[in-house]
Amino acid sequence: MRILLEKFTKKFGDVTVIDQMDLEVHDGEMIALLGGSGCGKSTTLFAICGIHKVNGGRILFGDRDVTNVTSQERNVGVVFQSFALYPHLNVEQNMGFPLKMRKESAAEIKRKVDELAEMVHIKELLKRRPGELSVNNNGWPWRAP
């Protein structure tokens, strides 16, 4: 799927962080955003996945305009720099949280989580909390769902 940003603008208060940015990412293409601290790399990513609201311009997934679509309905995933696991939930609950928010049944959540845990070989870690995982393990629950 193609991702297209047209004249994307983001402001925080009076400060314009990103001014009319155009970006096109083709299907299967891999892109890296490089830049100094505070130049708007994360802001751009957060706008694409719907965490930040956009102050101007459009964001398109394929031909679909998702500028004002909620994060959940865009169906995109993010791996945060600091992993951003929920510290009070165990791995299983962390993985199941988005499904729970989509109001899927408990049995269905369990099935999907088990299946994915099996796939990435973390089944024995499901009952542990993020604080009890090693650094290598920390990213996994996020990538799984």
Partner 1 sequence: MSGNYRKWPIILFLAVLTAPLILMYTYLFVDTVTNSPVGSMIPNEFTLEHWRFLTETLPGRPSIWLATWNTFVFATITTVIVLVVSSSAGYALSRLQLPMRSFFLGGILVLHAFPTVTLLIAIFLILQMVGLYNTLSGIILVKIALELPFGIWIMKGFYDTVPWEIEMAGIQDGATRFQVWIKLVLPNVKPAIMALGIFSFLAGWSEFILPLVLAPGNNVQVLSVYLAAIIADDNNFDIGLFKSVGVFYVLPVIILFVFFQNKLMNIYSGGTTG
Considering only residues 86, 106, 115, 118, which one is a binding residue for partner 1 as defined by CB under 8 A?
86
Pick from 120, 138, 122, 140: nearest CA to 130: 138
Among 88, 111, 127, 143, binds partner 1 (CB under 8 A): 88
CB burial class (10 A; 0-12, 13-18, 19+) of residue 131?
A: exposed
Name the one range near partner 1 by CB under 8 A: 18-26, 85-93, 108-116, 119-127.
Answer: 85-93
Residue 130 near residue 88 (C-beta atoms within 8 A) = no
Region label for 75, one of left (φ > 0), alpha (ψ between -120 and 50) or beta (otherwise)? left
Of 14-22, 23-31, 33-41, 69-77, which segment contacts partner 1 by CB under 8 A?
Answer: 69-77
Name which of 20 and 132 has its Cβ closer to partner 1: 132
Question: Interface with partner 1 includes 138 (CB under 8 A)?
Answer: no
